[in-house]
Structure 1
C-alpha cells in the first residue's frame, strides 16, 4: 500500500494489525500501530476512521490503567462521531467515558 500511495488502505492495514495486538493483550504494540494510523486517516479526511482510531487508543490506555490518557482520547473521538452523525460511535464513546469515570470513583 505504501508504494502506490494508498494511505486509506495503509491505514486500514495498520489499524487491523493494531487490533490483533490489542486482542492479544499487547496494548503497547497496539498503540504503536494506532498512532501510525492517525496521520494517514487525517490526511485523507476520514473523520469516522479518525474517531474510531482515537476510541481504540483510548481503550488501550484504559486497559493499561492510564485513565486520564484514555479520557483524553475518548474526548477527542466524541465530537468527530457527532460531526459525522454516527450515533453508535457516539454512544460507545460516551459509555467508555462513563466507565473511566466509574473506575476513577467519580460516579456522580
Structure 2
C-alpha cells in the first residue's frame, strides 16, 4: 500500500507549479487528482488548501461562481482544523470575488471577517491588503 497522503501532496505541488506557469487547466487536473486522495486519508487541512487553490484557478479563469463554490467548501474545513491564517485567506478570496462582481457590501462583509483573523495571527501583510 502506497503513501496516499504523500501522493496527494505531490500531485497538489505539481498543480501549484503548473498554476504558477500559467497552465491553469493542467493545474486543475493535478489539484483534482490530489483532492480525492486528501479526502481518502482524512487530510482536512490539505483538502482545504487544495479546494482554495482550485478556487483561485477558477477565479483567475473568470469563472467566479465556480471559484465561490470551491472557496465555500474550503472555509468550513479551515475553521474545523483551526487554520486561522488559512481561514483569513479564504475569506479574503471570497471577498475579492464579490468585489469583482460588484457586490461591494458582501465583499466588505468577508474582508471584515478576515481582518481580525489576520491580526490574531500577526499577518501584517495580509492585514494591509
Question: Counterpart in 2 of 1:92?
Answer: 89
CA offset at residue 106 of structure 1?
A: 0.5
Distance 2:84 2:35 in 1: 21
Using CA pairs below 8 Å that are at least 6 residues apart, which structure has the higher relative contact order? 1
Partner deviation per Cα, 1:18-41 (whole Å, 9 max, x = no partner): 001000011111000000001101
Q: Find the counterpart in structure 2 of residue 21 from structure 1.
A: 18
Cα distance in 2, alignment partners of residues 83 and 61 from structure 1: 24
1:24-74 deviations in Å (ceiling 9; x for gaps)? 011111000000001101011000000000000000000000000000000
Aligned partners of 1:106, 1:70: CA distance in 2, in Å? 15
Structure with bigger gyration radius: 2
What TM-score, normalized to structure 1?
A: 0.95
User: For residue 76 of structure 2, what is the aligned residue in structure 1?
Assistant: 79
CA RMSD of aligned residues (A): 0.6
Matches within 5 A, 1:32-43: 32-43=29-40
Structure 1 distance, partners of 2:20, 2:41, is 27
Q: Which runs of 4+ in 1 moved over 4 A?
A: none
Unaligned runs of at least 5 residues, structure 1? none
Q: Give the structure-2-normalised TM-score.
A: 0.80
In structure 2, the residue matched to 1:5 is 2
What's 1:44 paired with? 41
